Amino acid sequence: MNNMINRDISWLSFNERVLQEAQDKTVPLIERMRFLGIYSNNLDEFFRVRVATSIRLVAAMSGKDDDLVDITNQILADIQKKVLELQTKFYATYQEIFDELKIQNVFIKNEQELTENEQSFVRTYFLNEVESLITPIILSNIKKFPYLKDKSVYLYISALKKNDKQLQALIELPTDYLSRFVVLPSEDQSQNIIYLDDIIRYNMPYILRIFEPQNIESYILKLTRDAELDLDDDFSESYYDRLNRSLSNRRKGKVVRLVYDRQMSADQLEQILQNIKLSAQNHLIPGGKYHNFRDFMGFPSLGREGLCYDNLLPVDHRDIDEGKPILKQILEEDKLIQFPYHSFDYVIDLIREAAIDPKVMAIHMSLYRVAPKSKIIKALKNAARNGKQVNVVIELLARFDEEANLEWSKQLQEENIHIEFGLKGLKVHSKLLLIQRMSKGEQRNVAFISTGNFHEKTAKFYGDTALLTADSRITDEVAHVFQIFDKPYLPYVFNHLLVAPINLRKALYSLIDEQIALAQNGGDGHIFIKINNLVDEGMIHKLKEAADLGVQMRLMIRGVCSMVPTKNMEVRSIVGRYLEHSRFFWFGTQENAKIYLGSADLMTRNLDVRVEVLTPLYQTKIQKEAIQYLELQWRDNQNARIVDDALSNKMYKNDQAPCDAQLELYKLLM
């Protein structure tokens, strides 16, 4: 299909919306600093995955498909141009925030600006906390240039020894163990912060004292490596073993980007480039004195009012009585839970309750990402210890969480919990919990179907929605989804759930066709879709066809949108204090609404090569809550951007009262 926006360029436009939050003067200053961290972290992952894939494609297709190579090289050139453009805005924004923090008596000091007391503190902090965690690698002493790790930050050091010979060294910053930012003791009303980098710089004469160094220079380096897993179809190895080997290969991935201090000399830069095998034409990003701004996500709060967002405590769910068993309440009525506005403890309490309920026979769960110290894992273990049959489907290929998921699977197996690793060729991305319970002599299923992961940490800042239901039309089919992993050879028919790759794409096409037929016959055809990404070519073509034939369409796409908006179609994106992550599909008007929620975005992988589940919302009360939420999202005129073919990211404004959908939802649920 022609006239689509390239997904990588669209993704950079999304990340620009994150950068806009850092530029927004109505956002508290430290939160703006943290948005710089989010922007930088996003960009790291983009290079590790998307850019790395394009580079591999060029290498694989050279001499075989020159047209594809030319197109991909042009995209890589466009990416480089856009990244450098945004980099300029990034550093200007950082400097602006830096200056505004000074007005608030918050100062980020470097190693040359310290008072006598601060110098003493920095020396003591270095000796007590830092020295044991670093070891300089003296480049002139080794034959082979050291392996530089992805995600790590290095100080490249150049100095003269006492014999006038050149000294070059590398020091890896120990940010896995220590915060990048250290708050200095205050002698007045000001608050002073120093980078860990500068603590090391200050102590460099001490670190290199055996060389009696002179003219010490130090520059920050950060590189990004190809992060894709290469899993071949070697059936003689177990899936588990192949994944372990591929994770080892990832650590040796090819360098796809270098960010360096622009003050480095050309000779110093060339030495680095030759040793990491990166050409000067490929994804070199000149920067300032400090890199790895992803660490800004952990910028200290400082305990000052007005510098951070007000802490919004989760509200009690008005339809859940904490004094009564949750399972019984769900058997009476469906519940819609909105995270982070409602506490994730509802999910943990549900599993805990199921673990000790004598009527519960089995618990089934699909896990994609979980928190490092997961209460979910602990609750599942306790359920197994209480004699419940516990079955867990773990997706080993959840990107960048593969190692954690390997470890969780081992721990669960040790508790005699039955583990499935999904299906060959299909990632399990659905977010499902099924509790099977006997009630009055018959089995009743209770299901939790969510748009987000079972991850109590991200549930505090990801905007997700979940349905709790005992409706047998839904829960019986959730049971069938779990059965697929055990018996994939059986035929499965779903009449209520939309399940990829079985019926999801076809069902969405049919639902769109219903709205086309309505519009063609003089009725009101309406579609409202809220998702993270819209990329799939077939789905874009279908939505465009619907809009061209008179269906009124509202699309809320947080991230990548390859669709070029057309007539009868508005596309917006909300980026705010919480990460918008819920996926909704609403077909029809309020009077004849068909509404689904679940885990699927409109990307080819979600529709065709993942196990995804969308559930219908059947109860009228739940439908009304969903519609109220979606209409509130659409009214947002504080955080919404217009998504257009020019990738302008203009703020959506109207003459209505100010509406911040995230804050308004919080008030609505209170």
CA distance 466 to 479: 17
First to last CA, the chain: 46
Percentage of the chain with pLDDT > 70?
94
Please tell me the predicted confidence (pLDDT) of residue 41: 92
Count the helix, strand and coil residues of the chain and give each as a percent rounded to the nearest 5: 40, 25, 35
Residue 439 shares a structural domain with residue 529: no
Of residues 394 and 22, more confidently modeled:
22
363 lies in some domain: yes
Please tell me the predicted confidence (pLDDT) of residue 233: 42
> What CATH number has the domain bearing residue 580?
3.30.870.10
Among candidates 409, 412, 352, which has minimal Cα distance to 386? Answer: 352
- Residue appearing with tokens 């790895």: 292
Residue 109 shares a structural domain with residue 247: yes
Token pair for 610: 């993942």
304 lies in some domain: no
What residue ranges in 395-513 does DSSP mark as E strands? 418-420, 427-428, 431-439, 442-450, 462-469, 498-500
Residue 98 shares a structural domain with residue 173: yes
pLDDT(243) > 70: no
Please tell me the predicted confidence (pLDDT) of residue 606: 94
Highest mean pLDDT of the ranges 164-178, 258-272, 495-509: 495-509
Of residues 251 and 531, more confidently modeled:
531
* Residue 193 · residue 183 · CB < 8 Å: yes
Whether a cis peptide bond, with omega within 30° of 0, leads into 340 is yes
Out of 278, 298, 318, a domain closes at 298
**Mean pLDDT value across residues 114-121:** 95
* Residue 153 · residue 287 · CB < 8 Å: no
Residue 222 shares a structural domain with residue 137: yes
74-83, 237-246, 301-310, 549-558: least confident range: 237-246
Phi, psi (5° rounding) for residue 438?
Answer: -85, 130
Q: How many CB atoms lie within 10 A of CB 57?
A: 18
- Residue appearing with tokens 């896990």: 367
90-104, 155-169, 494-508: least confident range: 155-169
Out of 453, 486, 519, a domain closes at 486
311 lies in some domain: no
H/E run at residue 108: strand 106-109
Which sequence positions are flagged as catalytic?
429
- Residue 252's pLDDT band, with cuts at 50, 70 and 90, is low
CA dihedral 627, 629, 631, 637 (to 10 degrees): -170
What residue ranges in 317-426 does DSSP mark as E strands? 335-339, 360-367, 389-394, 418-420
491 lies in some domain: no
What type of residue sits at position 242?
R
Of residues 667 and 293, more confidently modeled:
667
Of residues 301 and 423, more confidently modeled:
301
Residue 470 shares a structural domain with residue 506: no
Q: What is the pTM of this model?
A: 0.89
DSSP structure string for 598-642? ES--BSHHHHHSEEEEEEE--SHHHHHHHHHHHHHHHH--SSEEE
* Residue 367 · residue 395 · CB < 8 Å: yes
1 lies in some domain: no
Residue 505 shares a structural domain with residue 481: no
pLDDT(395) > 80: yes
Tally the domains of the chain. Answer: 3
Out of 457, 486, 515, a domain closes at 486
- Residue 235's pLDDT band, with cuts at 50, 70 and 90, is very low
Helix, coil or strand: residue 530: strand
Residue 344 shares a structural domain with residue 207: no
pLDDT(498) > 50: yes
35 lies in some domain: yes
30 lies in some domain: yes
Complete edge-to-edge strand list for the sheet that includes strand 153-160: 137-138, 166-172, 153-160, 214-225, 255-261, 284-287
Q: pLDDT (tens digit, 9 = 90+) per residue, 170-200? A: 999 999 899 999 999 987 889 999 999 999 9
CA distance 555 to 642: 10
Residue 347 shares a structural domain with residue 406: yes
CA distance 83 to 11: 11
Q: pLDDT (tens digit, 9 = 90+) per residue, 314-339? A: 999 999 999 999 999 999 999 999 99
Domain, as residue range, for 529: 498-669
